[in-house]
Amino acid sequence: MPEPHRKKEMKTLEDVKKAVTVFNYAEKIKTSLIMASSLLELLGGIKDEAEIAGAEKLLVAYLNALIVEVNIAANASQIEGFRDIASKLQKAAEQVRLHNYTIVQRFISEAISMAVTHGNWAAQTLKDKNLI
């Protein structure tokens, strides 16, 4: 039977591993969401209808790729909050198709906030262990 301090060490190690995983994914997702926001800003400045259609398709494709990445993060980290980010991105992609760019920006901003929240938890856990 494991000694009590060994159980605590194992729990601490598990927490650190999870924090590293969450921190890595949260930072990657946050960066990708900021890029999506920048792409949306560029889309808002396009005037030619054919260019708008192409830009919207690209933005939707980017958001769909990001949804896949966020779902991988949810599976790898066991943080269900990442699925909430994926849901926001799905809603954003739907609104791009409807040309509702203001609503898209709101969903992307909410997703960024969620990613920051998860990243802050992980960063604090790593700081508490003097790992960052």
State the residue range of the domain holding 119: 10-127
Q: Is residue 75 part of a domain?
A: yes
Least Cα distance to 33 among 116, 100, 102 occurs for: 116
Taking only the tens place, the pLDDT of each residue in 92-131 is 999 999 999 999 999 999 999 999 999 999 999 999 988 8
Under a CB-based contact definition with an 8 Å cutoff, are residues 25 and 82 in contact?
yes
Residue 78 lies in a domain: yes
Number of independent structural domains in the chain: 1
Identify the residue whose tokens are 């009590």: 4
Residue 127 to residues 7, 20, 33, 108, 116: CA-CA distances in angstroms? 21, 11, 25, 28, 16
* Residue 5 lies inside a defined structural domain of this protein: no
The tens digit of pLDDT for each residue in 71-93 reads 999 999 999 999 999 999 999 99
